[in-house]
Amino acid sequence: MTRRRWIADEVHGETAVLVGEHAAHLSRVLRAQVGQEFDIATGNAVRSGKITSISEDRIEFALGNELLAKPAPKVTLLLAIFKFDRMEWAIEKCTEIGVTRIVPLIARRTDAHLAAASSRRRERWQRLALQASEQARRAVLPEIDAPVKFKDLQKADSTTSDATADVGVKKIVLAESGSDARLGDILDLRSVPATAETILAVGPEGGWTDDELAWFRESGWQAASLGETILRAETAAIVAAALVLEALR
């Protein structure tokens, strides 16, 4: 049987620790016992771990041998904010399939109430990502950034010179135009260095504005579609991320 994997909240030398609700789930719900062994992700490695002490809000593991873990592709998902229940589903599933970073974006068509409330959702999104990462036996948590406004994205991009840009970074924006290439047809990512990043931008309900799409194209992003049907934002994010990750593996 495959051992369950936990992502440590703290690591001190040869000891890893789960705390708070994280520990409570293992102690109360799964009824963990001293001596049980699990795989423990420590941030830069995955190691075997044996429980040495248990309390309601703290579980300690003695760390053992390092386990082999295949390096994950570096895929950032720039995800325009949409209805929170559906966005949470997208974050959870994109975490499970292996996205390494998610940047919530306040686009011009993002609902004003959602934009105003988005900064208060980050902690919940991070908690969902932790649970999904452990479910999927990931070695490293994805980064969940604080929400960023589109105009701030533009400013950040304009301050990155060609000399400092990451070599081989591929930037793709999903667009609904029938004139754009299909995503599956442009994913020749084999030449992208393993240390480089692929960035995928998925728009809000209603799509990108013409001005936003023009900025993406002028800034070197390649526009692509997922076909003739119009998908919900969460469906588009999951399908596109899965296609990109499969092309990188």
Task: Give me the residue spans of the domains in the chain.
Answer: 5-67, 74-248
- pLDDT, one tens digit per residue, over 223-249 is 998 888 888 999 999 999 999 998 887
Same fold, 5-67 and 74-248: no
70 or 52, which is more confident?
52
Find the mean pLDDT for residues 184-194: 64
- Identify the pLDDT of residue 168: 65
- Identify the pLDDT of residue 160: 43
- Identify the pLDDT of residue 144: 96
- pLDDT, one tens digit per residue, over 21-69 is 899 888 888 888 999 999 999 987 899 999 999 988 899 999 999 987 7
In this model, does residue 115 exceed pLDDT 90? Answer: yes
- Identify the pLDDT of residue 34: 94
> Per-residue confidence at 167, pLDDT binned at 50, 70, 90?
low
In this structure, what token pair is assigned to residue 144? 């969940």
> Per-residue confidence at 197, pLDDT binned at 50, 70, 90?
confident
DSSP letters, 82-93, are: --HHHHHHHHHH
User: Does the domain formed by 74-248 have CATH 3.90.580.10?
Assistant: no
- Identify the pLDDT of residue 64: 92
In this model, does residue 178 exceed pLDDT 80? Answer: no
Superfamily of domain 5-67: Hypothetical PUA domain-like; domain 1 (2.40.240.20)
Q: Rounded to two decimals, what is the model's pTM?
A: 0.83
In this model, does residue 111 exceed pLDDT 60? Answer: yes
In this model, does residue 177 exceed pLDDT 80? Answer: no
Find the mean pLDDT for residues 119-135: 94
> Per-residue confidence at 10, pLDDT binned at 50, 70, 90?
very high
How large a percentage of the chain has pLDDT more than 70?
Answer: 89
- Identify the pLDDT of residue 161: 38
- Identify the pLDDT of residue 233: 93
Q: Are 216 and 223 in contact (CB under 8 A)?
A: yes
Contacts of 141 (CB under 8 A, 6+ apart): 7, 129, 130, 133
In this model, does residue 165 exceed pLDDT 70? Answer: no
CA distances from 36 to 12, 40, 232 (A): 20, 12, 43
Q: H helices within the chain, ranges in order?
A: 20-24, 84-97, 112-117, 122-135, 150-158, 183-186, 210-218, 233-248
How large a percentage of the chain has pLDDT more than 90?
Answer: 59
CA distances from 51 to 35, 55, 58, 64, 139 (A): 5, 11, 11, 11, 19
